[in-house]
Amino acid sequence: MGIPFTTKIIGSEENKMKKIASAGLSILVATGVAGIGGNEVQAAEQAQPKTPENSSTEQPAVKATETTEQAITEKQQQVTEKQAIVDQKQQVADTAKKEKDTIDQSVKDQQAVVDQNKGALDQSQQAVTDQQAVVDEAKKVVDEATPSAIEKAKNQVATDTQAVDDQQKVVDQAQADVNQQQAVVEEKAKETNAAKVQNDKDQQAVTAAKQEQAKLEELAKNAEVEKAKAEKEQAAKEAELANKQKEEAKAKDQKTKDDQAVADQQTVVTTSQEKVADAKADTAAKQADLTAKENALKDKQTATKQVQNTLDKSKEELKGHKGINLPANFTPDYYKKLSEQEKQAMEKEALALNKVFPENQADVAKATEMINVKNPTGKQKQQMSDYVVGLINDVREKLGLQKLKISNQAMRFAWDVAKYDNPKEFDHDVNAINRAAKENGFKEYPGQNFYENLSMGYFETINGTISQLEFEKAARKTIADMLFDDESSAYSHIDSLLKGDTTNMAVSISGDLNDISAKIHIISYNQSKLVEANTYEEGTAPVFKSKETLQKEVATNQEKLATAQQAESDAQQAKSASQQVLNTAKTTQATAEKELSVHKATLASLQAVATKSTTNYEEKVRQTATAEKSLQQTKDQLATINELIQNRAAVLEKAKTNVSEAQAIEQTSAKVLKEKQAAQKAEENTLNSLKEVLNLAKENLNQKQVAFKTSTRSLSRLENAQPTYEKALNELNKAEAAAVQAQEAYENSLKSLEELKEQQAVATLAYTQAQEDLSNAKLELQQYQGVLRELEAQQAEQQRQEALQEQVAKEQQRLEREAKQSQTLVASATSADKTPGLQQLSFSKQKEQPKAQALTHSESRKTKQVAKAPDSLPHTGEKNNKWLAIAGLIFALLGAAGIISFISRNEKKVKNIFKIK
């Protein structure tokens, strides 16, 4: 540690040049944009369309050197400019319309808010009015609530309480009397009902005795005949009874058979049910076994997945391992041992091995985790030191050197260096280093650096931040360059990083807001650097897995995966076997259930037959019993008849006596019934009287309870007068505050509405003005388009005249050639040669009229000369046709002269058309 540390700026010059070039390019781009913008502004000003105001002083005019085609081109350009103005005005009008619609909607919405706030204000004001009434009433009660008034109210409550208690006792006693009398009435009612039942029986006995008497009297009249009839009927019924008894015996036998068949089939069903139950139990057991096997398989699958995830994680961790890769012949002092060629080869190999920054999925999150360079979090500080010291420890461990440790003391030292560092200093800031050393209890070395390894330009701050990923890239590149590309620093960095007696290290970063040469400060030391050795903090070495460790973990996890996959496969086979066994059990169960279903169906059929035979048997038993009863009745009747024959008078007298006795009994029970009814009525009258007493007592109790409630409320009203008044005042204050808020809200919304209406008026005015400007622009465009159409028509006419002139010239040349060939037309040909109007037509505005006149005179002379030619030439049809053609051409030229005359008369308008802007 006696050798001062040096600064590592490997690659920083290249980075700085790139940044400077980039900055220069940015400046050029910015300048180019400004220049282009200026040109655009100028072009826009040049192309600014003329308004009706400024166009009125610059009317279109045609210069002497301009042609119609040039004027049309310029006019088309002006029409295009006017169209651009119209499009611009249209866009302005559309924008104004949208803004007007928006502000109109805003006004509508705000009006709704105003209306809503007005309603809320009215409600709050009404609430204030209502609550004020409550307060006024509460104030009256406060005034009434004197001590004497409260005492009087208490006395009244006590009096009313006693009155209620006394009257409740009266009510309770009346209720008890009513309940007791009700029991008496109910008892009397039972006695009356019993007497009524007995009297009804007695009346029935009288009726039966009378019927028996009448029957005996009728029977006595034909006793012998009835006897013979009864004897015959008895014999028939005895025969019928015997037949019924045989049928009953037969039905009983059939019932016994059917019942036995049902019992036997029930046994079969029971056995089948037991078989089904056994099959179900076996299926359930097999299902439970399958479920257990499935759960075991799921556990194995989960275990396989977990092991796979662990393997994937370890592979991913190995893929993104950031450790420094060392060449085979690397040692801390390789630069001393190797030849120059070997050294360069080794360094080249080492830099190539560490050129690519290993990344994995975990680095995605690091790319978005931003570190505030000047104010990182404590966690970020720890992560940065853990990362860098971990990288260095990975190398040191491979070389047999002790691991470096991170302590809070080292962290404070490193970050104080970053805090005091001057960003304009492109080397170790020894002032900052020694200041931080002093403040943290380390020895000072003025003007020297005994603590820091530094890199600059390995990362760039953007708005004062750097991502965690970019820091790790920069730090790894820093360590690699310090280890393998340190010749420019006399290998001082590798000596410092791999020094044997170094014990502690920490890392910090620094840089301005947007700094292309931000710094990484690596601070290291041992206990001897402290002013007081006992202040030394040992710290702990960061956890940093080596590539070899990760490779072993991957191999171990691959073995675990193979084991887990085999266990999963075994579980899958066990599950498949269990599933097959379960399927067999389900088949057995289904067969048993099917057999049970058949047996149950058979049982149901047999039970139906048994039920039918039972019903038949029961019917036969009933018929037998009916036959026996009928036979007995016949026997009884025959006995009566025999007794009548033997003792007629006595039998009839006995029947008469039976009637008299039944009547006497009935009269007695009727008398008893009447007495019971009278007694019940008397008790009911007593009960009604007692109920009236009870109702009166309850009414008095209710009145006393009302009086008690009134006095109680009155007392409570007086006793709580002050709290009630204060509560009412509080509610009134709330209502008033709410009313104030509502008033403010209403006024604010109203103010906003007025502001919006003002904006609406401005927007409406802007829209109206935009529409007016658009209409004016369209009108001006139409005017220019009209002038353009006139120019285009003029151009077409001029082209036609030029074509005509060319045709005339050609015809003139032909005629001249023919005239030269004819001796008789020498004079006419000479005259024609002197005619300037037929040689050339010019439409310049300065000579239009003179040329037209010259053309007319020339044609006139030519006409006269041609007219004389027939006098000296033979009269042939060919000559006449030629001169007729010439005459037609002359008339066409006269028409052209008329057009020229028209242009002359409209000279001012034509000037306006051709004027260059």
DSSP of 393-453, one letter per residue? HHHHHHTTPPPPBB-HHHHHHHHHHHHH--TT-SS--HHHHHHHHHHTTBPP-TT--SSEE
Task: Round to whole Å and give the CA distance between 628 and 114.
Answer: 105
Per-residue confidence (pLDDT) for residue 455, from 0 to 100: 96
Distance from the Cα of residue 338 to its chain's centroid: 68
Mean pLDDT of 788-807: 88
Query: Rounded to whole angstroms, what are the CA distances from 311 to 299, 302, 361, 486?
Result: 18, 14, 15, 38
pTM: 0.41
Per-residue confidence (pLDDT) for residue 66, from 0 to 100: 56
Closest listed residue to residue 728, CA positions, set 136, 250, 194: 136
Give CB contacts under 8 A, 24+ apart, made by 212-217.
Answer: 212/655, 212/658, 213/652, 213/655, 213/656, 213/658, 213/659, 216/640, 216/644, 216/651, 216/652, 216/655, 217/652, 217/655
Q: Which range is least confidently modeled, 397-411, 461-475, 883-897?
A: 883-897
Per-residue confidence (pLDDT) for residue 215, from 0 to 100: 73
Task: Round to whole Å and give the CA distance between 561 and 303.
Answer: 9
Q: Mapping DSSP to helix (H, G, I), strand (E, B) and coil, where does residue 171 land?
A: helix
Concatenated DSSP letters for 564-605? Answer: HHHHHHHHHHHHHHHHHHHHHHHHHHHHHHHHHHHHHHHHHH
Q: Give yes or no for residue 49 having a pLDDT over 90.
A: no
Task: Round to whole Å and give the CA distance between 734 and 726.
Answer: 12
Location of structure tokens 């893929």: 319
Residues 6+ apart with CB under 8 A from 60: 71, 75, 787, 911, 912, 913, 914, 915, 917
Q: How far apart are the first and last CA of the chain?
A: 85
Per-residue confidence (pLDDT) for residue 488, from 0 to 100: 93
Q: Give yes or no for residue 729 having a pLDDT over 90.
A: no
**Burial track 255-284 (b if 16+ CB lie within 10 A, e otherwise):** beebbebbeebeebbeebeebbeebbebbe
Task: Round to whole Å and give the CA distance between 400 and 171.
Answer: 108
User: Exposed, middle or buried: residue 551 (CB in 10 Å: 0-12, 13-18, 19+)?
Assistant: middle
Tokens encoding 511: 């840089």
Mean pLDDT of 680-684: 91
Q: Which range is least confidently modeled, 349-353, 604-608, 652-656, 699-703?
A: 652-656
pLDDT tens profile 169-194: 999 999 999 999 999 999 989 989 99
Per-residue confidence (pLDDT) for residue 144, from 0 to 100: 86
Task: Round to whole Å and give the CA distance between 723 and 532.
Answer: 73
Q: Are strands 452-456 and 7-8 parallel, antiparallel or unpaired?
A: parallel
Phi, psi of 868 (to 5 degrees): -80, -20
Location of structure tokens 């001012």: 908
Contact 182, 667 (CB under 8 A): no
pLDDT band at 62 (very low <50, low <70, confident <90, very high): very low
Location of structure tokens 């000279």: 907
Contact 439, 433 (CB under 8 A): no
Contact 507, 389 (CB under 8 A): yes
Closest listed residue to residue 797, CA positions, set 52, 57, 68: 68
Q: Give yes or no for residue 136 having a pLDDT over 90.
A: yes
Mean pLDDT of 222-249: 85
Mean pLDDT of 734-758: 91
Mean pLDDT of 800-806: 90
Q: Give yes or no for residue 888 having a pLDDT over 60.
A: no
Per-residue confidence (pLDDT) for residue 794, from 0 to 100: 87
Task: Round to whole Å and give the CA distance between 389 and 504.
Answer: 9
Q: Give yes or no for residue 895 having a pLDDT over 60.
A: no
Tokens encoding 506: 């920490």
Task: Round to whole Å and give the CA distance between 132 and 731.
Answer: 9
pLDDT tens profile 422-474: 998 999 999 999 999 999 999 999 999 999 999 999 999 999 999 999 999 99
H or E element at residue 390: helix 378-398
Radius of gyration of the chain (CA): 67
> What strands, in cross-sheet order, belong to the sheet with 519-525?
7-8, 452-456, 519-525, 504-510
Mean pLDDT of 66-90: 87
Location of structure tokens 């072993």: 552
Question: What single-letter amino acid sits at 843?
Answer: F
Q: Give yes or no for residue 68 having a pLDDT over 90.
A: no
Task: Round to whole Å and give the CA distance between 381 and 523.
Answer: 13
Per-residue confidence (pLDDT) for residue 76, from 0 to 100: 87
Tokens encoding 235: 């014999």
Contact 849, 900 (CB under 8 A): yes
Q: Mapping DSSP to helix (H, G, I), strand (E, B) and coil, where does residue 348 land?
A: helix
Q: Which range is least confidently modeled, 21-35, 334-348, 604-618, 739-753?
A: 21-35
Mean pLDDT of 368-378: 95
Q: 148: left (phi > 0), else alpha (psi -120 to 50), else beta?
A: alpha
Q: Are strands 519-525 and 452-456 parallel, antiparallel or unpaired?
A: antiparallel
Give percent above pLDDT 90 in the chain: 60
Contact 536, 530 (CB under 8 A): yes
Q: Which range is least confidently modeled, 367-381, 597-611, 856-870?
A: 856-870
Q: Mapping DSSP to helix (H, G, I), strand (E, B) and coil, where does residue 508 land?
A: strand
Residues 6+ apart with CB under 8 A from 760: 100, 103, 104, 106, 107
Question: What single-letter amino acid sits at 342?
Answer: E
pLDDT band at 308 (very low <50, low <70, confident <90, very high): very high
- Residues 567, 572, 578, 580, CA torsion sign: negative
Query: Rounded to whole angstroms, what are the CA distances from 490 to 67, 428, 454?
Result: 84, 16, 15
Task: Round to whole Å and give the CA distance between 125 and 102.
Answer: 34
Report all structural domains of the chain as residue ranges with CATH numbers, in order of start.
322-544 (3.40.33.10)
Task: Calculate helix-pair angle for 378-398, 468-484, nearest 10 degrees.
Answer: 30
Q: Give yes or no for residue 909 having a pLDDT over 80.
A: no
Task: Round to whole Å and give the CA distance between 696 and 592.
Answer: 80
Per-residue confidence (pLDDT) for residue 795, from 0 to 100: 85
Average pLDDT, the chain: 83
Tokens encoding 556: 């171990």
Contact 771, 75 (CB under 8 A): no
pLDDT band at 657 (very low <50, low <70, confident <90, very high): confident
pLDDT band at 232 (very low <50, low <70, confident <90, very high): confident
Tokens encoding 240: 């019928």
Q: What is the DSSP letter of 377?
A: -
Tokens encoding 244: 């019924």
Contact 540, 404 (CB under 8 A): no
Mean pLDDT of 256-270: 95
Task: Round to whole Å and give the CA distance between 801 and 896.
Answer: 7
Task: Round to whole Å and give the CA distance between 191 and 755.
Answer: 97
Task: Round to whole Å and give the CA distance between 826 and 837.
Answer: 20
Mean pLDDT of 214-218: 71
Residues 6+ apart with CB under 8 A from 220: 644, 648, 651, 652
Q: Which range is least confidently modeled, 206-210, 447-451, 636-640, 793-797?
A: 636-640
Task: Calculate helix-pair angle for 68-144, 648-719, nearest 10 degrees.
Answer: 100
Task: Round to whole Å and give the CA distance between 766 and 94.
Answer: 11
Closest listed residue to residue 513, CA positions, set 378, 373, 368, 367: 373
Residue scoring higher pLDDT (28 or 62): 62
Task: Round to whole Å and give the CA distance between 271 and 278.
Answer: 11
Mean pLDDT of 580-586: 95
pLDDT tens profile 378-396: 999 999 999 999 999 999 9
Q: Mapping DSSP to helix (H, G, I), strand (E, B) and coil, where does residue 506 land?
A: strand
Contact 540, 406 (CB under 8 A): yes
Q: Give yes or no for residue 217 having a pLDDT over 80.
A: no
